[in-house]
């Protein structure tokens, strides 16, 4: 059996009326909230404390000055004056014009006698080029180079390691024709350098060089090449 509502119990007709009434009530509460005021703000000590009456103290800016240097006091030296009695000097004065030569002192110790200097120019310890250059068995440095190459033996260690190059030897020919001061000027390997020194040091005597008709020391430089075939 279906239950039917009466026209008086139908709430759908009053739906709009209740909506408008609710809206009005909500707006009333909103307006009351905005207009609500309290006395607490008036009694707030922080709002009426009179901040504007405070004076701000200005602190002056200070500039630190550098201390002035103290004046340098110059030391005062006392001048010492030794007063000599003139009467004591009278006994030591001699008369150069008295006419008596016996009163004259010996002045020879005051005469400067310069020692004569030897102005002969010094000759150098050795020469590189002279009027008559030293000769090796009737030839020049090329003749000696050929003699050295005939006696050079390639050391085994540098030969096995494939080391080769040119060693420059410096030596002196003394006034008696002997060879001295044999040195390595430019080396390649220890064993190659030692072999070059050995052969040059074993050189026989040379015909010495001459300069101004007298035998002198002459310096030579000999390059010795070590090449693998």
Check pLDDT > 50 for residue 65. Answer: yes
Query: Which SS3 state, helix, strand or coil, does residue 83 take?
Result: coil
Contact 164, 211 (CB under 8 A): no
Please state, for a pLDDT cut of 70, what percent of the chain lies above it: 58
Q: What is the pLDDT of residues 93-137, one digit of tens each?
A: 445 445 555 555 555 554 545 556 656 555 678 888 889 999 999
Q: Which residue has the higher pLDDT, 105 or 14?
A: 14
Check pLDDT > 90 for residue 189. Answer: yes
CA distances from 6 to 2, 15, 17, 44, 186 (A): 13, 17, 19, 62, 137
Q: Which residue has the higher pLDDT, 201 or 21?
A: 201
Q: Can you tell me which residue has the tokens 């007709």?
A: 13
Indicate the burial class of 189 (C-beta count within 10 angstroms; 0-12, 13-18, 19 or more).
middle
Contact 136, 144 (CB under 8 A): yes
Residue 160 placed within a domain: yes
Q: Please, which pLDDT band fits residue 34 given cuts at 50, 70 and 90?
A: confident
Pairing, β 218-226 against β 209-211: unpaired
Report DSSP state, residue 47.
Answer: T
Residue 196 placed within a domain: yes
Range of the domain at 172: 141-226
Check pLDDT > 90 for residue 79. Answer: no
Q: Which residue has the higher pLDDT, 203 or 107?
A: 203
What average pLDDT does the structure give for the chain?
Answer: 76
Residue 56 placed within a domain: no
Residue 170 placed within a domain: yes
Contact 134, 206 (CB under 8 A): yes
For residue 143, what are its two tokens? 């003749």
Longest Cα–Cα distance of the chain, Å, equals 191
Residue 129 placed within a domain: no
Q: Specify which residues 104 forms β-bridges with.
A: none
pTM over 0.85: no
Question: How many domains is the chain built from?
Answer: 1
Residue 62 placed within a domain: no
Q: Is 201 left (phi over 0), alpha (psi -120 to 50) or beta?
A: alpha
Residue 206 placed within a domain: yes
Mean pLDDT value of segment 55-66: 62
Q: What is the pLDDT of residues 121-180, one digit of tens each?
A: 556 788 888 899 999 999 999 999 999 999 999 999 999 999 999 999 999 999 999 999
Q: Please, which pLDDT band fits residue 28 given cuts at 50, 70 and 90?
A: confident
CATH code at 213? 3.30.1150.10
- Contacts for 154 with CB less than 8 Å, ≥ 6 apart: 195, 226, 228
Q: Can you tell me which residue has the tokens 């040119």?
A: 166
Report DSSP state, residue 219.
Answer: E
Q: Please, which pLDDT band fits residue 9 given cuts at 50, 70 and 90?
A: low
Check pLDDT > 80 for residue 190. Answer: yes
Segment among 7-16, 156-165, 214-223 with least mean pLDDT? 7-16
Residue 20 placed within a domain: no
For residue 159, what are its two tokens? 């030969």
């Amino acid at each position: 059996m279906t239950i039917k509502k009466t026209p008086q119990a139908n709430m759908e007709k009053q739906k709009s009326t209740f909506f408008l009434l609710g809206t009005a009530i909500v707006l009333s509460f909103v307006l009351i909230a905005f207009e609500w005021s309290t006395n607490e703000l008036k009694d707030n000590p922080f709002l009426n404390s009179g901040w504007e009456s405070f004076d701000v103290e200005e602190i002056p800016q200070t500039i630190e000055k550098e201390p002035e240097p103290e004046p340098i006091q110059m030391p005062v030296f006392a001048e010492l004056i030794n007063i000599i009695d003139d009467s004591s000097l009278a006994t030591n004065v001699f008369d150069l014009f008295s006419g008596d030569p016996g009163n004259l002192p010996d002045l020879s110790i005051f005469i400067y006698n310069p020692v004569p200097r030897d102005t002969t120019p010094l000759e150098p310890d050795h020469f590189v080029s002279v009027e008559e250059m030293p000769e090796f068995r009737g030839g020049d440095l090329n003749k000696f180079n050929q003699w050295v190459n005939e006696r050079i033996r390639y050391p085994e260690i540098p030969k096995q390691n494939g080391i080769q190059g040119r060693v420059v030897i410096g030596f002196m020919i003394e006034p008696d024709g002997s060879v001295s001061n044999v040195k390595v000027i430019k080396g390649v390997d220890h064993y190659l350098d030692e072999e070059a020194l050995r052969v040059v040091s074993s050189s026989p005597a040379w015909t010495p060089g001459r300069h101004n008709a007298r035998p002198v020391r002459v310096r030579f430089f000999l390059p010795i090449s070590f090449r693998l075939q």
